[in-house]
């Protein structure tokens, strides 16, 4: 099945400026968290490093902890969109792996310097660990719900939840191990994406075999 090409509207000047400001905040936060620690860094310091006011910071992120997970909602939405746009012949694992490929192409955050900082803070800061688990569980639930709706004959609610958990667990586990090495350039980022894709497919292989895909 060939999907029709979609005309993607180009971002306006205002939207491009907002994207640059948002990225400046993320970059500033990653540098400050790494240099002086998460608890020791304030929102005011992040905003000042990005050359904006503190009030403007809250127009982009609700709280300091949210800047650690800037694109988590977008990844969940991309996965759900892939489920909705699936080919009739696609099985659940096919859809999830295609979603991962799409995310890898467009989502720089997953293998970014902030991702490396986030992983280190996950192991050392309880508040960050709690937020990370909250974000991951919310994504799992949303993905599981859509999987169950899309594949009712193959996945009941429990198995859909387990498959969604296998996906998010494989990705986060792979990144946790891989992020022991600093991401320093585009080549490293590409290597990480490739490894995450390989091990995630390996982790989901039993589901493919069980479904006869």
**Tens digit of each residue's pLDDT (9 = 90 or more) over 131-174:** 999 999 999 999 999 999 999 999 999 999 999 999 999 988 88
* CA–CA gap between residue 31 and residue 39 (Å, rounded): 14
Q: Which of 148, 154, 144 minimizes the C-alpha distance to 208? A: 154
**pLDDT tens profile 10-61:** 878 888 899 999 999 999 999 999 999 999 999 999 999 999 999 999 999 9
For residues 64 and 211, give the distance between their C-alpha atoms in angstroms, rounded to a whole number: 42
Name residue, tokens 């640059």.
20
Q: Token digits for 75?
A: 């990844």
For residues 87-102, give the mean pLDDT: 91
Which tokens hold the place of 26? 């993320």
Close Cβ partners of 127 (under 8 Å, ≥ 6 residues apart) = 38, 65
Higher pLDDT, 109 or 154: 154
Q: Which two tokens stand for residue 117?
A: 């900082």
Question: Nearest-CA neighbor of 127 among 47, 39, 41?
Answer: 39
Question: Which of 103, 17, 5, 117 minimizes the C-alpha distance to 60?
Answer: 17
- Rounded to 5 degrees, what are φ and ψ at 125? -120, 110
Tell me which DSSP letter residue 4 carries.
Answer: P
- Reply yes or no on whether the pLDDT at 212 is more than 60: no
Chain center to CA of 151: 23
Residue 182 confidence (pLDDT): 52
> What pLDDT, on a 0 to 100 scale, did the predictor assign at position 108?
72
Q: Which residues contact 212 (CB under 8 A, 6 or more apart)?
A: none
pLDDT class for 208, splitting at 50, 70, 90? confident
pLDDT tens-digit readout, 168-200 = 999 888 888 877 665 544 557 778 888 888 889
Its pTM stands at 0.81
Least confident of 75-84, 99-108, 121-130, 174-183: 174-183
What are all long-range contacts of 103-107, with beta carbons under 8 Å and residues at least 24 apart?
A: 103/75, 103/78, 103/79, 104/193, 104/196, 104/197, 106/78, 107/71, 107/74, 107/75, 107/78
Would you list the DSSP string of 110-163? GGSHHHHHHHHHHHH-HHHHHHHHHHHHHHHHHHHHHHHHH-TTT--HHHHHHH
How far apart are alpha carbons 97 and 205 in whole angstroms? 11
């Amino acid at each position: 099945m060939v999907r029709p090409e979609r005309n993607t509207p180009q971002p306006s000047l205002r939207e491009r400026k907002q994207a640059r400001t948002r990225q400046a905040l993320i970059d500033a936060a990653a540098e400050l968290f790494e240099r002086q620690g998460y608890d020791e860094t304030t929102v005011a310091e992040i905003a000042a490093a990005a050359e904006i006011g503190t009030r403007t910071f809250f127009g982009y992120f609700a709280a300091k902890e949210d800047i650690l997970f800037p694109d988590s909602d977008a990844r969940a939405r991309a996965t759900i969109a892939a489920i909705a746009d699936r080919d009739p012949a696609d099985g659940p694992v096919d859809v999830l792996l295609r979603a991962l490929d799409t995310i890898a192409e467009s989502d720089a955050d997953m293998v970014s310097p902030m991702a490396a900082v986030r992983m280190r803070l996950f192991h050392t800061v309880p508040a960050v660990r709690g937020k990370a688990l909250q974000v991951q569980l919310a994504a799992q639930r949303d993905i599981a719900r859509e999987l169950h709706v899309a594949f009712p004959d193959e996945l009941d609610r429990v198995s859909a939840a387990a498959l969604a958990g296998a996906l998010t667990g494989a990705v986060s586990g792979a990144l946790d191990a891989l992020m022991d090495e600093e991401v320093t350039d585009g080549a490293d980022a590409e290597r990480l994406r490739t490894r995450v894709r390989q091990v995630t497919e390996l982790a989901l292989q039993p589901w493919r075999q069980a479904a006869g895909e």
